[in-house]
Amino acid sequence: MTKPQDDMNLLRDSINQLDAQMLDTLAQRKELAKKIGQRKFGTQSAIRDKDYEQLILADRIQKGRALGLDANYVVHLFNTIIEDSVLSQHVEFQARANPGNQQDIYNVTFLGEKGSYSHQAAERYFSRHPGKVAEHSCGTFKEAVERVESGQANYAILPIENSTSGGINEVYDLLQYTSLSIVGEIIQPIEHRLLSPFADATLDEITTLLTHPQVHAQCSQFIAKLHNVKVEFCKSTSHAMRQAQEANSHAVAAIGGAVGGSYYNLVPIHDNLANQRENHSRFIILAKDPQKVAGSIPAKTSLLLSTKHEPGALVEALLTLKNHGINMTKLESRPINGNPWEEMFYIDVEENLEDPDMEAAIEELRQQTRFFKVLGCYPDAAVDPTEPTSKTLSRRSPKADKKKVPATPKTDEKPLKKKAYHLVSRQHQAEDTIIQIGDAKIGGDSFVTIAGPCAVESEEQIFDTARQVKEYGGALLRGGCFKPRTNPYSFQGMGYEGLDLLEAAGKKYRMPIVTEVMDAEDVVKVARQADMLQIGARNMQNFSLLKEVGKVHRPVFLKRGLMASLDELLNAAEYILAQGNKQVILCERGIRTFETATRNTLDLSAVPILKQETHLPIMIDPSHAVGRRDLVAPMAKAAKAVGAHGIMVEIHPNPEVAKSDGPQALRFPQYAELMADLYGED
Ligand code: PEP
Ligand code: MN
């Protein structure tokens, strides 16, 4: 008889063999991708073909499902593979576009020592290049620039902006006074952790915190909560880590990344320190000579200019870009040393320097400005993953005419009385408002599904549900954290604890989240975490709440009140728009009538009427309308047929134990079936 240990070893051996095969296959695939890249070079066709990538994903999802692998897993895997192929092709293309630039050894300089964030960015950036890397650490950004200027190094890698703390002024200022060119960029996820030499060190024991000022700014909210802690600023994160290692005490900790900390025998004792969970830094790569960017690679160009002292001079410069169809991605300004109140502008655009439009724009800009310099042209590092569409994810294959949304009905009827609302009306804005939330576009011709449980109940429940929502093509994840319940003793929601879970589930499955906000005082706080704010039916005429959501920049999902007319709904939306927030989605979720067979009565005629009256998108919530899961699918399909811009449906892993609205929650297979009916072919 085999012993359990032997058995385990056998299984592990088999896994090792499979992994070796997989690595081999991946390496072969990468070589093929490079060959395709070589064929593409010279044809001037774009490196990425998003339609083709969608087809690949659809095919792999289908094959994966047949083998019992879920779509999320397959998509995640293939996006990682596609990203690597694309970036490898970039390097191939750049080598061909800049012959003579290949080196056996890249001398790279950066701030700090091993383990600093700049060091990690340098390692990642040059890992795709064929040559070896010689690392040169520096004490300041200025020193890094000077080393390249003097020829001691070929490249300097410098952080230029962070998604939490913004632009890094010192680096912007250095760009004013150097002749180096930007030849590349890399976007690096930054995960700040509290690091200690002792895995058992606790927050209470810490009295000294070592950190770089930029990092301090990104983690200010966490640091403010620490009591009796003295913050000591260090010139780089690697210095902070080295000092923590040398102190060798439970009382001294540093902020740094987990990989960086490992160089100094430090271990994370607390995670997620950054004020914003999505924390990225963009680094630029500077070299002595400018590089060309191959035509098939999406390119960015960075410009530096100061305008003439005339009214509208900056507007004129920006209009020049607009007139040539050039998209600007960044505008920063910095004071000019010695010229008080004069500004130098940094502009990033999505265009290749050799593009004829760009050449023409530059020609004009040179005439319009007092100072003008091209800082560099380089490949755009953002390889955004191809997200499969609802059609790709729903089980059956696509059929074009199913997607069509009925046109907005025209009316000859004159309005009976003058409308009190204005901003929401078609008279004010004829074209449909289209609201973009993450990858989802709501409005116009789209039909979007928002799904999730009535309430967030536990980590397991929301993660299971999120996985299912995404797997079959849901675009947004819903989940109530503050529940408006008729009975004060019923479950009131998990509050902010629930919102943390919803946010984490949304992040994991790459879906924006929507949750209800009930109290005007919570609006700003909820808006920090939620991608869209829901105003529940019971609050449709809570005017102080409407005014508050009108002041934040998040889209608002406004539900029609239980007893509200369409006119009242539009006036409620007007409250929000009047405060400045133009992003409102209206939702019909059933109204009170004498009928008792359903929880409410779904007023489907609201859709064509609202489409005549307003440019705002209109969605249907069949779940709260009918209150019974057997009727949800037919009404969801009816919503599509009458031209709604989408639906919001409640689903639950086990509706029998749901803490609210169990009877109307779709079971997972019912949701999958509905999505196939809505987006797939029979
Ligand atoms: C909900 O969406 O969970 C909800 C409470 O909806 P309504 O406000 O439409 O009742
Ligand atoms: Mn509900």
pLDDT value of position 404:
54
Q: What is the per-residue pLDDT for 413?
A: 60
What digits encode the pLDDT tens for the residues 39-89?
877 776 778 888 888 888 889 999 999 999 999 899 989 998 988 888 888
Q: CA angle 385-386-390, nearest 5°? A: 135
Ranges 357-366, 399-408, 666-675: which has the least confidence? 399-408
Which residue's CA lies nearest to atom 10 of ligand 1? 537
Give the ligand 1 atom nearest the CA of 538: 8
559 Cα nearest atom in ligand 1: 9
- With a 6 A CB cut-off, is 592 part of the ligand 1 pocket? no
Measured by CA distance, the residue closest to atom 6 of ligand 1 is: 536
Which ligand ends up closest to the CA of 539? 1
| Range scoring the smallest mean pLDDT among 123-132, 246-255, 595-604, 637-646 | 123-132
Mutate to test the pocket of ligand 1, among 490, 559, 661 (most ligand atoms within 8 A of CB): 559
Domains identified in the chain and CATH numbers: 30-97 (1.20.59.10), 193-270 (3.40.190.10), 294-380 (3.30.70.260), 425-679 (3.20.20.70)
pLDDT at 417: 57
Q: pLDDT tens for residues 221-258? A: 999 998 889 999 998 899 999 999 999 999 999 999 98
473 ligand 1 Cβ < 6 A: no
pLDDT for 401 equals: 42
Q: What is the pLDDT of residue 402?
A: 45
- Ligand 1 contact via 536 beta carbon (within 6 Å): yes
> Which residue has better confidence, 461 or 310?
461
Q: What is the pLDDT of residues 9-40, one digit of tens each?
A: 999 999 999 999 999 999 999 888 888 887 87
Q: Model's pTM, two decimal places?
A: 0.77
pLDDT for residue 562 is more than 90: yes
Which residues lie below 8 Å from residue 292, measured CB to CB, with a gap of 6+?
97, 98, 353, 354, 377
Q: Which ligand is nearest to the CA of 536?
A: 1
Q: Band of the pLDDT at 1, cuts 50, 70, 90? A: low
Q: Which residues contact 555 (CB under 8 A, 6 or more apart)?
A: 435, 437, 442, 531, 532, 533, 583, 584, 585
Distance 472 CA to ligand 1 centre (A): 23
Counting ligands in written order, the one closest to the CA of 619 is 1
* Average model confidence (pLDDT) across the chain: 91
Q: Phi first, then psi: give them for residue 632, nearest 5 degrees.
A: -65, -45
Q: Are strands 513-516 and 532-535 parallel, antiparallel or unpaired?
A: parallel
At 300 the pLDDT is 97
The confidence band for 278, taking pLDDT boundaries of 50, 70 and 90, is confident
Centre a 10 Å sphere on the Cβ of residue 23 and count the other Cβ atoms it contains. 10
Give backbone dihedrals phi and psi of 128, rounded to 5 degrees, phi first. -85, -10
Among 86-90, 262-266, 614-618, 626-630, the least confident range: 86-90
Give the model confidence (pLDDT) of 161-195 as tens digits. 998 888 999 999 999 889 999 999 999 888 899 99
- Mutate which of 556, 621, 659 for ligand 1? The one with the most ligand atoms within 8 Å of its CB, which is 621
- Residue 418: the pLDDT is 65
648 CA to centre of ligand 2 in angstroms:
10
Is 615 touching ligand 1 by the criterion CB < 6 Å? no
Report CA(620)–ligand 2 centroid distance (Å).
14
Query: 664: CA distance to ligand 2 center in Å?
Result: 8
